[in-house]
Amino acid sequence: MGTRIDGIKLRHVYKIFGSEPAAYVERVKAGMTKTELLAHNHVLGLRDISMDIPGGAIQVVMGLSGSGKSTLIRHINRLIEPTAGEVLVDDVAVVKMTPTELREFRRTRTAMVFQKFGLLPHWTVLDNTMFGLKVRGTAPAERRDTAMRWIERVGLKGFEEKYPNQLSGGMQQRVGLARALANDAPILLMDEAFSALDPLIRVDMQTVLLDLQTEIRKTIVFITHDLDEALRLGDHIAILRDGALVQKGTAQDIVMTPADDYVASFVKEVNRGRVILVESVMTAIGAGLVASDSLPRVAAKDPIELASKVMSDAGAGQAVACCEAGRPVGMVTMRDVINTMTTPAAYPSIARLAAAEPIADVA
Amino acid sequence: MEWFTTFPTMDNERLTALKKAIDEGFRNFTRAYGESFEIAFEPLKIFMIWVERLMTTTPWPIILVGILAIAWLASRSLKIVVGAALALFAIGYFGMWDDTMKTIAMIVVATLTALVIGIPLGVVMSFSKRMRSVVMPILDVMQTMPSFVYLIPVVMLLGIGKVPGLIAVVIYALPPVIRLTDLGIRLVDRDVIEAADAYGSSRWQRLANVQLPLALPTIMAGVNQTIMMALSMVVVASMIGVQGLGQPVLKAIANQYFTLGVFNGFAIVGIAIIFDRVSQEFGRRLQKHREIVHGH
């Protein structure tokens, strides 16, 4: 098990909730809006979702509540059937699977972590962690060994015999994570997995996940409504609004070039210094640009916040972005960094001050 | 204007003919199939007789210790065990031991029969809306129809004795366990069921791992109700030949023996309380994991 997958593809997926969804799908394709559809007592869940989720990376899908993100993730393991469209995992159509094939797919290819944990309250932590393996029919001894390994890995050693009710929310979700990882499925679906946790615990769990991912390299689809979480975890981010995809890209793409006002309003409050990398503000080394050994050095993949710290500590106005095959790749200046880190629109006082009367000499 | 003051009825002759025809039909049915029904219920009869013999021929100290041991294992409550001991001693001392044993045998067999039929039926009901729409009205009839009314066809079909009495008790006691099994399964948290589905559970795995265990408190409430209702049928069932505490009560009604009625009445109350407390405490103990909550 644990075989890699090449990726997940969604092709023109539509989901309409209601008594006769099929009757409305053509009209939605022809441009009927969510509000118009609602007048017919049907709810538009997803509209024409096409995306490629690459294998071995974390794909974040974010949006506000009601944007269809939880509906979207449930299409991947077909907890929800699409009204139209295709879901392909390694080019196998999930929608066309028979019930038996689907069960087998869910048992061996996917694992899921839920916002409300979804643990069995009458089972201990150990039993809960073994759940997927039990369903799959793994031998009891192997089940136990695997489960114990993951319980330890998520930091719950010593809690094996506790019931979920005896644990805090953060610990319960560690059980949820251990249960998913014990399954060793190549696809990990996380539906607002950390949203119910306190902010500090949430950051803690994000760290746990990122640490684990460096070693397990699973294809993770992570749903969240929290932009900071999305930017921190996502190798790739997709933004949903009213059931439609509004933007796909890396964290930097989203922050630096928001596709529309909706996305822009999301990223307005983001700490850009931590998201934007040196490589996107540096000037590439070329003719006329010579790196000096006396300048401080930063990595091209460092966030610019770090670069500003390095430069100000060194008292330098610029730094060398280092290094590819031992050669510097670019130069970054304090001026560029600060300009990129601040969003001028957020500070109207800048314009006001600039327009003010000339400053009188101070005696 | 006569139709306005008197309800227009079917004319007498035709009404009588109709009743006669139905009676005749049913009588023919009992003649044709009475024996097959008796044969079909033979295993139940053998089981019933076996349990009754076990309860009445085993020396009383063994039975007493057995009942108290079961009460202890199920409830782990000293208070309940002591209470049960006192009640049973009083029952024995006032000369009602044998009748009480017969009644307990009857209740045990009736309850087991009701559970064997009721729990699977409740499960099927929770899965299928159509099934529910068929079974629900039948349960309504079973619960509201005066029990004397369905004693008639049962007696016509099977005569007087243990088995018809048992059937009457089961019909009366069956609805709560069916209803509460159905309800319990439908009330199981959607999120946990979704998790079970997401990990590829088959329908059976979902039922066994998630739905039945999580519905258990509700199902246990149904079991408790079923036991109580079976006990309340003891007197009525004695009218068609069921032995036990019901018969002295019946005799007391007919002859106005006040004390006989009260003694046997209290004996029924006594075992009802024992059954009730033990089964409730057992249900609570099954839910232990709910009680120890984080932060309390």
For chain B, the helix, strand and coil percentages under 3-state DSSP, each to the nearest 5: 85, 0, 15
Q: Do B294 and A165 touch (CB under 8 A)?
A: yes
pLDDT for A65 equals 84
Nearest Cβ partner of A135 from B205, B293, B295?
A: B205
Asked if A283 contacts A318 with a C-beta cutoff of 8 angstroms, the reply is no
Asked if B85 contacts B64 with a C-beta cutoff of 8 angstroms, the reply is yes
Q: Do A104 and B200 touch (CB under 8 A)?
A: yes
Q: Which of A1, A75, A7 is nearest to A235 (CA)?
A: A7
Flag whether residue B213 sits within 8 Å of chain A, measured between CB atoms.
yes
Q: How many CB pairs under 8 A join A and B?
A: 76
- B3 within some domain: no
Buried b (16+ CB within 10 A) or exposed e, B193-210: bbbbbbbbbeeebbbebb
- B31 within some domain: yes
Nearest Cβ partner of A168 from B214, B292, B294?
A: B294
Does pLDDT of A287 surpass 60?
Answer: no
- B2 within some domain: no
Could you tell me what percent of chain A has a pLDDT over 70? 92
Pair B16, B116 in one domain: no
Top pLDDT among A256 and B197 is at B197
> CA–CA separation, B33 vs B20, rounded Å?
20
Nearest Cβ partner of A118 from B194, B293, B295?
A: B194
Q: Do B294 and A167 touch (CB under 8 A)?
A: yes
pLDDT for A1 equals 46
Query: What CATH code is carried by the domain that includes residue B283?
Result: 1.10.3720.10
> How far B11 CA sits from the closest chain A CA (Å)?
50
- The predicted model gives A41-52 an average pLDDT of 91
Least confident of A114-128, A306-320, B109-123: A306-320
> How far B121 CA sits from the closest chain A CA (Å)?
24
- The predicted model gives A303-313 an average pLDDT of 89
- The predicted model gives A306-314 an average pLDDT of 89
Q: Considering only alpha carbons, which residue of chain B is nearest residue A185?
A: B199
Does pLDDT of A181 surpass 60?
Answer: yes
Pair B29, B63 in one domain: no
Q: Do B200 and A107 touch (CB under 8 A)?
A: yes
- B296 within some domain: no
Cβ contacts of B139-148, under 8 Å, gap ≥ 24:
B139/B174, B139/B175, B139/B178, B139/B179, B142/B171, B142/B172, B142/B174, B142/B175, B143/B175, B147/B171, B147/B172, B147/B233, B147/B236, B148/B236
Q: Do B290 and A111 touch (CB under 8 A)?
A: no
pLDDT for A109 equals 92
Top pLDDT among A112 and B157 is at A112
Q: Considering only alpha carbons, which residue of chain A is nearest residue B288?
A: A122
For A71-107, the pLDDT digits (tens) are: 999 999 999 999 999 999 998 999 999 999 999 999 9
> CA–CA separation, B205 vs B213, rounded Å?
12
Q: How many domains does chain B have?
A: 2
Buried b (16+ CB within 10 A) or exposed e, A189-215: bbbbbbebbeeebbebbbebbeebbee
pLDDT for B84 equals 95
- The predicted model gives A209-238 an average pLDDT of 91
**Has domain A275-346 been given CATH number 3.50.50.60?**
no
Does pLDDT of A242 surpass 80?
Answer: yes
> How far B288 CA sits from the closest chain A CA (Å)?
8
Could you tell me what percent of chain A has a pLDDT over 90? 44
Average confidence (pLDDT) per 10 residues, chain B, 296 residues: 85 91 91 87 92 93 95 92 95 93 93 95 93 93 86 86 89 93 94 94 93 92 92 87 90 92 93 92 80 61
Domain boundaries, chain A: 52-273, 275-346
Tokens of A181: 């990882």
pLDDT for B262 equals 93
Least confident of A111-120, A228-237, A336-345: A336-345
- The predicted model gives A5-23 an average pLDDT of 91
Asked if A255 contacts A283 with a C-beta cutoff of 8 angstroms, the reply is no
| Interface ipTM above 0.90 | no
Q: Do A114 and B194 touch (CB under 8 A)?
A: yes
Residues in B touching A185 (Cβ below 8 Å): none
Q: Considering only alpha carbons, which residue of chain A is nearest residue B195?
A: A118
- B202 within some domain: yes
- B251 within some domain: yes
Pair B86, B25 in one domain: no
> How far A210 CA sits from the closest chain B CA (Å)?
23
Pair B148, B28 in one domain: no
Does pLDDT of A288 surpass 80?
Answer: no
Domain that holds residue B190: 41-287
Top pLDDT among A207 and A289 is at A207
Taking the domain A52-273, which CATH number applies? Answer: 3.40.50.300
